[in-house]
Structure 1
Amino acid sequence: MLKINRHVLSNGLRLVHSQDDSTQMVALNVLYNVGARDENPEHTGFAHLFEHLMFGGSVNIPDYDAPLQLAGGENNAWTNNDITNYYLTVPKQNVETGFWLESDRMLSLDFNERSLEVQRGVVMEEFKQRCLNQPYGDVSHLLRPLAYKEHPYQWPTIGKELSHIANATLDQVKEFFFRFYAPNNAVLAVTGNISFEETVRLTEKWFGPIPRREVPVRNLPQEPRQMGERRLTVERNVPLDSLFMAYHMCERNHPDYYAFDILSDILSNGRSSRLNQRLVQQKQLFSSIDAYISGSIDAGLFHISGKPAAGVSLEQAEEAVCEELKILQTELIAEHELEKVKNKFESTQIFGYMNYLNVATNLAWFELNGQVEDMEQEVERYRAVTAEQLRTVAQQAFGRESGVVLHYKSS
């Protein structure tokens, strides 16, 4: 069991902490409660653009990386549709450098045309490489708007289209920053070889003076229930035909979330999983196949994607997947098969807790999405899922009328 400590600053910043004396390092993880779902539909890709801008210099520190490297530290960041996450690790004797750097860029960035131009160029290049010039790179741009008609999950994190980033102005960027990058819209998680008292002292010293901001109340449109199958066929210059299927699933805090996660592992986690055993090895209908959940805070998607084997049509491949889903809807999963998947979740969590940086990321995520103590209940929640619940969830979720199917053909 982790010993978790909490402290809330007067400006609204939430601090969560767990000490780990087995390392000489400290991790700082700053999670901002802003993702692609918070963007204006006409100005998408901003959360991801900020992931880059945050390294372009802050109000008092022209270069973020140099001081951290001198202190023996490393850093990185990632964005998704729900959150933007920044983290660094630093030797414990240089930990104050980390607090200084992170607090300054929360206070304000060094907004200037040159920095914006550089980072905009980097993001546009990334968009071209990942989405326009890579085989199957546009799948997310095709599948998301097919699945979502109202909710802003209908565009990927990188943005709806290249022009949204190309046309981003300094004023728009500033406005986005001061609306969302606020102490009262963030969680700071600190783990590693540092006491709670020292953590509170440094957090109050560096983050305490940052003023709270007016963060808008999130009021996103709910996605209406899908009443009929949605299909799309595209032809592209790709080496192989590919099948992409998705079904609507519940939000992250729903009890069925754990059932969906287990179902994705029953289908496709390891060599002994059902899709791999039956459709790849036995029937040889696919050369590769995968099932996974989006894991998003709001109602997400259960994905199945695969490349049919030579001579197998996309229609045959899709039918084979539907047959496997039908088995989940009609037959109870055997106890030993379910137990194996649950054991895997438990071991993953135990190993995850051995890494102080993993712990920091998880502390921040669970604090944002409910309360940090929920982290300790995760294994129990997976353990509580029954074969009956899995069958019921499969019956409710995997109907043809709620499916989204993309046939991606090689031209």
Structure 2
Amino acid sequence: MIDYQNFILDNGLKVYVHQDITLPIATVNLLYNVGSRDEDENKTGFAHLFEHLMFGGSINIPSYDDPLQLVGGENNAFTSPDITNYYISLPSDNLETAFWLESDRMLSLSFDPRVLEVQRKVVIEEYKQQYLNQPYGDAFMKLKALAYKVHPYRWPTIGRNIHHIEQASMDDVKAFFHKFYVPNNAILVVSGNVIFDDVRRLAEKWFGPIPSGERYVRNLPQEPVQQELRMEHVEADVPSDAIYKSYHVPGRLHSQYYTADLLSDVLGRGKSSRLHKELVNKKHLFSNISTYISGSIDPGTLNIHGKLNKDVSIEEAEAGIQEVIQSIQQKPLDEEELQKTKNQAEATIVFSEMELLNRSMNLAYSALLGNPDLVNQESELIQRVSVDEVQQLAKATLIENNTSTLYYHAKH
């Protein structure tokens, strides 16, 4: 159970406080309601670029890391299609340092052209390393573009085309910042050995003077229902053939989200899952195979990907996957199998929340979804899912007309 108190500043910044006095540490988690789905399709990769730029210093604090390291703190950030999240862990006695650092870059980020050029090069190099210079690196980029035709989930967080970052102007960067990195588009969670009244005082002192931005109203194109089988074949210098599949499933706020999550776990989470037991252990079609859902706020995807064993044809491997899917569609799961899967999912939640930082992140994300109490309700929602619901969702979503498949062939 994650207990919390909350308040909202006059400028719209939402603040949540979770107290845990067991250790003399604190975390400060600042979630901005912007991800790659909010980008212009001709200027992609900006949310991820800002993940880097925000560490380039502000007008008043040229080096972000140095003051934090001096007080024993550490920090990092991540970007997703839906959010950008920055976090700091430090001794609770030095909490104000985190407020000073985070508020100053929100108020007065340095738009030093040298910083932009350095971070531009870092992102370009990251793009090359992750997508161009490693085996199967571009697989999920291609799969996204196959599964989505309208919604901005069709490009990865690093950007649809690296030229968008190469050509980003300072005016483009400033416009993106002033649109999204404002108090009324952010959620601040402070956790650990902290006192609510102290957090409120620090929030008022450091974030209170920052002016609100124009309210962002998200109006994204909705992805049409897929009506046809989509396939793409790619050949590259990779160790073995591989199959990547996507099926459209409900998004994070849908009542069937946890059903889709459990369905993916039954299919391909770990070595006790159906796909692994049947296609890796028994039939030896794949060296590895797994399943996961994207977990996105808007309607997402259930994804299957596996590497084929030598001398196994794409056709054999594809038939093996379809056989496992059909077994779930044709016969309900045993209660015992579903309960085991539920227990695994619940254990993941419990273990993750042993870490103070994870509690902060989960609370911030639940608040973004419009229900901060969701952070305490997930286990119950998982346990409510029935075997019939899993089977019905499998019948409705794991079908040919809802399938996008990338066949990744190794050059021979």
TM-score, scaled relative to structure 2: 0.99
Q: Which residue of structure 2 aligns with residue 191 of structure 1?
A: 191
Q: Deviations over 1:226-253 (max 9, x none)?
A: 0000000011111111100110011110
Q: Which residue of structure 1 aligns with residue 37 of structure 2?
A: 37
* SS at 1:40 equivalent: coil
Conserved 8 A contact 1:59-1:107? no
Q: Distance in 1 between matches of 2:131 and 2:12?
A: 38
Q: Deviations over 1:182-218 (max 9, x none)?
A: 1000000111100111111111111111100013311
Q: Which residue of structure 2 aligns with residue 118 of structure 1?
A: 118
Q: Distance in 2 between matches of 1:127 and 1:4?
A: 39
Q: Distance in 1 between matches of 2:36 and 2:329?
A: 34
Q: Deviations over 1:288-326 (max 9, x none)?
A: 001000000101010000011111111211111111111
| Percent of pairs with identical residues | 51
Q: CA deviation at 1:106?
A: 1.0
Q: Distance in 1 between matches of 2:117 and 2:68?
A: 24
Q: Which residue of structure 2 aligns with residue 298 of structure 1?
A: 298
* SS at 2:292 equivalent: strand
4+ runs of 1 displaced by more than 3 Å? none
Q: Distance in 1 between matches of 2:392 and 2:59?
A: 54
Q: Distance in 1 between matches of 2:251 and 2:2?
A: 26
Alignment of 1:81-96 (within 5 A): 81-96=81-96
Alignment of 1:212-251 (within 5 A): 212-251=212-251
Q: CA deviation at 1:58?
A: 1.1
Which AA in structure 1 matches 2:165?
I
Q: CA deviation at 1:371?
A: 1.6
Q: Distance in 1 between matches of 2:234 and 2:2?
A: 49
Which AA in structure 2 matches 1:398?
L
* SS at 2:61 equivalent: coil
Q: CA deviation at 1:354?
A: 2.0
Q: Distance in 2 between matches of 1:278 and 1:215?
A: 51
Q: Which residue of structure 1 aligns with residue 181 of structure 2?
A: 181
313-322 vs 227-236, which moves further: 313-322
Q: Deviations over 1:364-386 (max 9, x none)?
A: 00000122111111001000000
Gap runs ≥5 in structure 2:
none
TM-score, scaled relative to structure 1: 0.99
Equivalenced residues, count? 411
RMSD: 0.8
Q: Which residue of structure 1 aligns with residue 283 of structure 2?
A: 283
Q: Which residue of structure 2 aligns with residue 128 of structure 1?
A: 128
Conserved 8 A contact 2:270-2:290? no
Conserved 8 A contact 1:180-1:215? no
35-44 vs 310-319, which moves further: 310-319
Conserved 8 A contact 2:120-2:165? yes
Are residues 1:260 and 2:279 paired?
no
263-272 vs 248-257, which moves further: 263-272
* SS at 1:208 equivalent: coil
Q: Distance in 2 between matches of 1:402 and 1:350?
A: 33
Q: Which residue of structure 2 aligns with residue 100 of structure 1?
A: 100
* SS at 1:372 equivalent: coil
Q: Distance in 2 between matches of 1:204 and 1:15?
A: 10
Which AA in structure 1 matches 2:262?
I
Q: Which residue of structure 2 aligns with residue 171 of structure 1?
A: 171
Q: CA deviation at 1:101?
A: 0.3
Q: Distance in 1 between matches of 2:404 and 2:353?
A: 36
* SS at 1:31 equivalent: strand
